[in-house]
Structure 1
Amino acid sequence: MPNTDSRLSAIKHWLTHTLECNYTAIEPASNDASFRRYFRIVHPQGSRIVMDAPPEKETLKPFIKIGQLLTRHGLQAPTIYFQNTRKGFLILDDFGPTCYLDHLTPKTVDTLYKAAMHALLKMQVNINPTQNALPVYNQSLLHQELELFRDWFLTQLLDITLSPAIHRELDRVWALLIKSALEQPQVFVHRDFHSRNLMILEEHSPGIIDFQDAVQGPITYDLVSLLRDCYIAWPKQQVLHWVTAYHRQLQHHPHWHCELPQFIRWFDLMGLQRHLKAIGIFSRLKLRDHKEDYLNDIPRTLNYVINISNDYPELAIFSQLLTNEILPAKKFPS
C-alpha cells in the first residue's frame, strides 16, 4: 500500500538523517491488531525496535506514560531511546522475538505463569491508578465493548437477525457482567495481559508490551486475560488452581480481602465480558481490516463463553441462546 511505503520511507529518513543511525537492516518485527506496526533495526551495536503509530490513528502519549510508570515500579517495559511524537515514531528496546505463547507447554506453563502473576501482583500492589490519572474502566466503556459482540459478531459476521427477545436477553446479560466488574476492587489494569504480550527475556522475565490501553479497572481482569487466554487454553481445574493461588497472595493486602467463591465468580464473569468483547474484535478485524487469521481464535474464545455460561444458573437462557441460535449460524473455523 502506498501509505505503508511512505511511512516506512519516513522512518528510514528519520533514522538516517536525523538520528544518524548506521543501521544495516530493517525488517518487520510483528503485526498488531491495531494500526501500529513494529520494525526491527539491526545496527553494529545490536538491535532496536521502531514503533510506527500513524498520528491520525494512534497517539503515543499513553504508551510513553504507562511505559515509564511500569519501569518506575520495577517492571520490564521497553526503554524508549528516541521519539518523534509528531510523526508517530519511537525507538525501543528489542525484547527479542520470543513471547510466552511460543514456549508455553504443560511442562513450562507453571514456571512462566508464576513469573507473570508475580509481575501482575507487583503492578496491582504498587501502581495507584487514581494518583496516576489512568482512565476509568467505567460502565460506558464496558458496555461499548460488549456491544462489539452484538454488532460485529452476531449481526455482521453471522448475519443473524436479532429478535426483540434476543436483544432483551443480551441487555440483561450485559447488565449482569457490568455490575460484577464494577463491584470489584479497582486497580491498575494492563488490559491485554496475555501470552502474546509477555516476552521471554534472559533476565527478569517477563518483558511487558502493548500496555498503552491501561486503565483503572476490575482486579480480576488481567488475571483472566492471562489464565483464560484467547490464544491458548488450559484445563479448568488447572486454571482454578492458579486462581486460588493468586487469591491467596491477595489476602496479604487487607483492603482487597474477599472470600474465594466471590473472587472466582468475579473472575468467571470478567472473563465472559472480555471474551465476548474479543469475539467482536476478531470479527471486526476480519470484516473491516481483512485480517482473516483472527477467525481461527473465535472457536476457543467462544468455548470459554459457553462453558462459563453453563456454570451459572442466571446465564442459562443466554447459554441456550448460544447453543440454539449462534452455533448453528457459525461462519468461522471449527
Structure 2
Amino acid sequence: MSGTFTLPLESEQLMLRIQDFKIINSDQIHTIQEPVLILIAGDASDRKFFRLINKEISAICMQFPKWEGGYGGDPISWIGMHNALSKMELPVPKIIEIDETNSCIWTEDLGDIFLTSIINDEILDIDDHKCNQAINYYKQALDLLIKAQYPQVKIDHPAINRFFDYEKLYYEMNFFITHFLNGFLNLNVSEENLEYINLYQDLKLLCKKLDSCERVLCHRDYHVRNIMLKDKDLYWIDFQDARMGPHAYDVVSLVRDSYVQITWKTRKHLYDYYIEKLNKIREKNNLNNISSISFNLELLLMGLQRNIKAIGSFGYLATKKNKPNYLRYVRQTLSILCSKEAQIHEETDIKAMLPNLFKLLYDLYNGSLEEILNEKIKNFK
C-alpha cells in the first residue's frame, strides 16, 4: 500500500541503502573496519534497528517488515506523523533518507541515552536530591505533551480522526483478557462465563467514563524508553500510533510507567506541575480551567486503564512474540494498581465504583491468583 509524504527541508538525500553495508552484532565491532551497520536492541515492535558506523555520517536505519500504509506501526504512518510533529515543532529525529525498496527509514542518530538512563537510583523520589535532574527532565517531558496538545500551529495531522473512544479503550481491556488472563494464565475469562459478567460490566463502565473526557493529541506510548536525551534536549521516538484521547493518557503513561518505580508523592508533584501548566495554556486559548478534582479522577481512571493494558501487552509479548523479559514488570505494575493512592479521590471511591475489577487485581497481586501468576512467570519459556 503506497502513500504520499514530503521530506522535511533539512533532510539530505544521500542514497543510503542497507545492502551496501555489512551487518554485524555489537560484539563484533572491534574486528570489522567501518563502515558497517550494527544491529542494535529495538523495541517491542517487529522493526529492526541498525546503527551506521561511518566517519562521514552517523545514522540509524529503521527497517520495517514491509513498505505499507495503514495506521500504526507501518512506515507511511511513521513518516506522516513525523511530518506533523515537525511542523508542530516537537523534537523528533531528522529524516536523512527514505528507501522504499528495502522498507527502510534512515534518521539522525540520537545516541543511547533514554530518559530511563538518567534515573540513577532505583526509585524516583522528590525527597531525594539525587533525583532532581531526572525529575526536571520529567517536567520537560510534560511540557512537551502540553505543546503537542495545544500546538501554536493547527495542522491536519494523521491522528486527527483517530480516537481513544469507547471502542478503542474497550478493545484494549479485551486485549488484557485475551493475552494475559487467558493467553498467559490460561484462565477461562469470557462474557459467556457467568463468573465474569460483573468484571466485564466494570471494564465497560471504566471505558465509558474515559470516553466522556475531552480529547487532545496523544503520543500513545509515552514512557521512559520512548523519550531520548541528546545534548541535554529531549526527543520523541515511536510516535507513529498517535491519536486523540484524554489529557491524562500520556501523563499517566509517563508518571505511572511500569518500567520505573516512582513514589506517590513524586507522582503528585508531577501531576500538580502538569495541571498548573495545562490551565495556563488553556487560559491563553480562552478555555475554561480544568479543576484539580475532575482531573485527579481522570488521572486515576486513565492510570487504571493504561496499567491494565500494559499487563496485557506483557502477556502478548511473552506468548506471541517470544519476549518473556517483559514479564518482570507485571508485579511492579500490579503494585501500582493495588496501591491505596491509585484509588483515593476527593469525591469518588474508585474501588467501590469498580469492585469486580479491583477484586481481580488484588487476586493477582496477593490473593487467590498470586501463586499461579508467580509460578507462570518463574517457569515461562
TM-score (norm 1): 0.88
Q: Does 1:183 align with 2:194?
A: no
Question: What's 2:18 paired with?
Answer: 12
Question: What's 2:267 paired with?
Answer: 239
Contact 2:170 2:207 in 1 (8 A): yes
Report 1:295-334 matches (<5 A).
295-307=327-339, 310-311=343-344, 312=350, 313-324=352-363, 325-330=368-373, 331-332=376-377
In structure 2, C-alpha distance between the alignment counterparts of 1:23 and 1:186, rounded to whole Å? 48
Question: What's 2:88 paired with?
Answer: 73
In structure 1, C-alpha distance between the alignment counterparts of 2:57 and 2:110, rounded to whole Å? 12
In angstroms, what is the RMSD of aligned CA positions? 2.5
Question: What's 2:30 paired with?
Answer: none
Contact 2:38 2:52 in 1 (8 A): yes
In structure 1, C-alpha distance between the alignment counterparts of 2:154 and 2:372, rounded to whole Å? 42
Gapped regions of structure 1 (runs ≥ 5):
1-9, 17-21
User: What does the per-residue CA deviation read over 1:14-37, in whole Å, with 9 as the maximum and x for residues that have no partner?
Assistant: 569xxxxx9612112322211011
Contact 1:41 1:48 in 2 (8 A): yes
Question: What's 2:200 paired with?
Answer: 171
Question: What's 2:3 paired with?
Answer: none
Question: What's 1:267 paired with?
Answer: 299
Deviates further, 246-255 or 292-301: 246-255
In structure 1, C-alpha distance between the alignment counterparts of 2:41 and 2:288, rounded to whole Å? 37
Question: What's 2:107 paired with?
Answer: 92
Report 1:73-152 matches (<5 A).
73-105=88-120, 106=124, 107=131, 108-126=133-151, 131-134=156-159, 135-152=162-179
State the 1:171 CA deviation: 1.4
Report 1:215-230 matches (<5 A).
215-230=243-258
- 3-state SS of the aligned residue for 2:302? helix
Q: CA 1:160–1:256 in 2, change beyond 3 Å: closer, same or farther?
A: farther
Question: What's 2:25 paired with?
Answer: none
State the 1:226 CA deviation: 0.7
Q: Does 1:52 align with 2:58?
A: no
Q: Does 1:277 align with 2:309?
A: yes
In structure 2, C-alpha distance between the alignment counterparts of 1:131 and 1:157, rounded to whole Å? 40
State the 1:73 CA deviation: 1.9
User: What does the per-residue CA deviation read over 1:240-269, in whole Å, with 9 as the maximum and x for residues that have no partner?
Assistant: 121112111111204362210110110111
What amino acid sits opposite 1:317 in the alignment? Answer: N
What amino acid sits opposite 2:222 in the alignment? Answer: F
Deviates further, 279-288 or 296-305: 296-305
State the 1:315 CA deviation: 2.5
Which aligned runs of 4 or more in structure 1 are off by greater than 6 angstroms?
Answer: 127-130
Match of 2:224 among 195, 210, 230: 195
Question: What's 1:212 paired with?
Answer: 240
Give the helix-richer structure, 1 or 2. 1
In structure 1, C-alpha distance between the alignment counterparts of 2:278 and 2:83, rounded to whole Å? 25
Question: What's 1:5 paired with?
Answer: none
Contact 1:76 1:207 in 2 (8 A): yes
In structure 1, C-alpha distance between the alignment counterparts of 2:205 and 2:154, rounded to whole Å? 25
Q: CA 1:71–1:256 in 2, change beyond 3 Å: closer, same or farther?
A: farther
In structure 2, C-alpha distance between the alignment counterparts of 1:129 and 1:233, rounded to whole Å? 36
- 3-state SS of the aligned residue for 2:377? coil
In structure 2, C-alpha distance between the alignment counterparts of 1:151 and 1:27, rounded to whole Å? 36
Question: What's 1:3 paired with?
Answer: none
Question: What's 2:28 paired with?
Answer: none
Gapped regions of structure 2 (runs ≥ 5):
1-15, 23-32, 125-130, 345-349
TM-score (norm 2): 0.77
Q: CA 1:181–1:80 in 2, change beyond 3 Å: closer, same or farther?
A: same
In structure 2, C-alpha distance between the alignment counterparts of 1:90 and 1:256, rounded to whole Å? 42
Q: CA 1:13–1:226 in 2, change beyond 3 Å: closer, same or farther?
A: same
Percent of aligned pairs with the same amino acid: 26
Counting matched residue pairs gives 319
Q: CA 1:269–1:127 in 2, change beyond 3 Å: closer, same or farther?
A: farther
State the 1:127 CA deviation: 7.1
Q: CA 1:273–1:256 in 2, change beyond 3 Å: closer, same or farther?
A: farther
In structure 2, C-alpha distance between the alignment counterparts of 1:183 and 1:299, rounded to whole Å? 30
Contact 1:40 1:48 in 2 (8 A): yes
Contact 2:21 2:35 in 1 (8 A): no
What amino acid sits opposite 1:234 in the alignment? Answer: I
User: What does the per-residue CA deviation read over 1:258-309, in whole Å, with 9 as the maximum and x for residues that have no partner?
Assistant: 2101101101111111111111111111111111101111111122222266
Match of 2:54 among 43, 51, 66: 43
In structure 1, C-alpha distance between the alignment counterparts of 2:212 and 2:106, rounded to whole Å? 40
Contact 1:129 1:187 in 2 (8 A): no
In structure 1, C-alpha distance between the alignment counterparts of 2:46 and 2:275, rounded to whole Å? 36
In structure 1, C-alpha distance between the alignment counterparts of 2:342 and 2:186, rounded to whole Å? 23
Q: CA 1:257–1:168 in 2, change beyond 3 Å: closer, same or farther?
A: farther
